[in-house]
Amino acid sequence: MCDVLGRLYSAGVSRRKLLASFAVGATAVAATACSPGTDTAVAAPSPDRRFAPEPYRGQRTRLVLLGTSGGPPYWPGSEREGISSAVVVGDRYYLVDAGHGVMRRLRGAELGPNFDTDIDGPLDALGGIFLTHLHSDHVVDLNNILTEGIYNGLQHVEKIPVYGPGNRGVLPPLFGQGPAPEPVAPGNPTPGTREMTDLIVQAFATDFNDRLFDNRKPAPDALWEAFDVPVPAQYLADPNGNPCPDMEPFTFFEDDRVRVSATMVDHAPVFPALAYRFDSDDGSIVFSGDTGPTPNLVKLARGADVLVHEVIDPAWPESLFPEPRTDAQEGLYQHLVQSHTLIEDLGPIAREAGVGTLVLSHMVPGNRPDSTWEGCGAGFDGRLVIGHDLDVVGVGAPA
């Protein structure tokens, strides 16, 4: 939904109607867990929403939901920060997406040995960053990690890898009628992850050079290295005609803690949009990224302990575009419901993949009560977790 809101006014949706829709409901405080699980434990968040790590001291691998809001709106009445999660394995963690508020949530999650010191943490325990796609709500605070990170623990012996989608290579198709607009940055209108991080360095060169010359801090190229996820070339041939070709998952990163695999998912016109699977010695955690239902994700998530999946409440786009719809309104409505996953589709996806626990995150709208999402587990025999910021899910048997 990241590029949709700007189109709503021209499609006949008033500002008043948008605000009224955003304001419906407020996020409930407690996480909801349904159906018994096996090896996976779920933390009930404390009243001040801070992560209490004590119940998970014995579980080496954990999922921490840092931010659970979907889309670029700062939803009225919501306590959720932008989309971001951490896979924790022992004393190291790996960041998946970097939505708004991620640095504050990393402090609140008490990750790393120096989370409560002024300048030594929590990034001292960071093992890598993995971006599912390059919509702003998934990457907007990456710059905070890469710039202010040098005063929050981002000084490692080894460079931190930053992985994400590569250059799309062509502009997306034009939506609706009328002449095509002039593209932004026409010389390179669709930079990928490696190029984006290079551009961040250029944009913040004044700050980096001050820290380098006056503060004697390391240069950016000593702190991290960015990579485009190496999607096999045959699947990148047709961004507009076939944005989610059928494919098998592929492994592209491995260290002494995790093995990370990826596949392409359907968030057209975004291309490529990726889902990730993290396998440790204790179990597996899969992140859908933003996507409509796709067989690629089911293959990636097969037999996983935890599937972290996005979801959209269909009542929201229906309230924006009540029937009868104009052609323009119908196009926007279909974009919203096809490039995301509806409540009623989630249970069948989790069941087909055979996962143990289904965790909801990237919820749209981000200000609905938990009762809105309870139907996501229909037809699924495992545990459903309606995620909240700083919730923790343990994976594997306690040591």
pTM across the whole model: 0.88
d(CA 151, CA 242): 43
**pLDDT category of residue 57 using cuts at 50, 70 and 90:** low
pLDDT at site 398: 80
Residues of the chain above pLDDT 90, percent: 79
Quote the pLDDT of residue 56.
57
Say which CATH architecture domain 5-170+189-395 belongs to: 4-Layer Sandwich (3.60)
**Cα 193 to Cα 129: distance, rounded to the nearest angstrom:** 11
pLDDT tens digit sequence for 266-300: 999 999 999 999 999 999 999 999 999 999 999 99
* Closest listed residue to residue 351, CA positions, set 281, 301, 286: 301
317 φ, ψ to 5°? -65, -30
Q: Please say whether the beta carbons of 356 and 40 come within 8 A.
A: yes
Strand blocks (E) in the chain: 32-34, 41-42, 61-67, 84-89, 92-96, 126-130, 160-164, 224-228, 250-254, 259-265, 273-280, 283-287, 306-312, 357-364, 383-386, 392-395
Say yes or no to pLDDT of 139 above 50: yes
Helix then strand then coil, in percent of the chain rounded to 5, is 25, 25, 50
Q: Assess whether pLDDT exceeds 80 at residue 40.
A: no
Token output for 178: 């009328």
pLDDT, greater one: 200 or 59: 200
Q: Does residue 223 surpass a pLDDT of 80?
A: yes
Q: What is the mean pLDDT of the chain?
A: 88
Q: pLDDT tens, 346-385?
A: 999 999 999 999 999 999 999 999 999 999 999 999 999 9
User: Domain locations in the chain?
Assistant: 5-170+189-395
Give CA separation, 118 vs 114, 123, 150, 282, in Å: 8, 12, 12, 32
